[in-house]
Chains A and B, each alone.
Chain A
């Protein structure tokens, strides 16, 4: 099993550009999450999904969008990138949550 796979690992965007961060898992997990982690800080939840076709906002959703058309994939879309979106982005998934989350290796995004 590959676990949770995030692509790309690094990306530099110019202000106003858009991009999609990809996240896929092969563990048949129902629950999926997107977090951002600013330098030296903890994790902030952007969006989450409890199953295919269902998404919901976390604590910092502004400037982002998600979709969950399949169980495996949970892409995060950044529209009109801003310097405040410079961060490391983590995708995570879980089957039933009681065993915690499995995290991807993260995407380091810089907006200049």
Chain B
């Protein structure tokens, strides 16, 4: 069974700094999708970034980028020039797409505090 591990339960960084959130996953599949979701205090779940495993190029979305290491099964999220609005819980997620019952598997989350 696939698993997603986020080893940092909580992190704090100063505003404008760069922060990296770690995520590892376990799978025997070769083709799959990876996601980072953000959940701010408003509790709305927001998709931050996605990566297709067959693409070697790391995905980027403005200040958010990933470091996808397929062989190491690692999918870290880098937030550059962090802002107060980045304070949130961040969930790493994995999904294989073999049949209709395949679902996104979420990690337990990393709570990120951006300090003024």
Contacts and interface: CB of A to CB of B under 8 A. Distances in A.
Nearest to A56: B101
A42 B107 contact: yes
Interface stretch (B14-22, B39-47, B71-79): B39-47
B43 A105 contact: yes
Nearest 7 CB-CB pairs, A to B? A103-B45, A42-B108, A50-B100, A100-B47, A43-B106, A100-B35, A106-B43
Interface of B: 33, 35, 37, 42-47, 50, 52, 91, 93, 95, 97, 100-104, 106-109
30 contacts: A41-B108, A42-B91, A42-B106, A42-B107, A42-B109, A43-B91, A48-B103, A50-B101, A56-B101, A58-B103, A88-B43, A92-B45, A97-B95, A97-B97, A97-B103, A98-B52, A98-B97, A99-B47, A99-B50, A100-B35, A100-B93, A100-B104, A101-B45, A101-B47, A101-B104, A102-B47, A103-B44, A103-B46, A105-B42, A105-B43
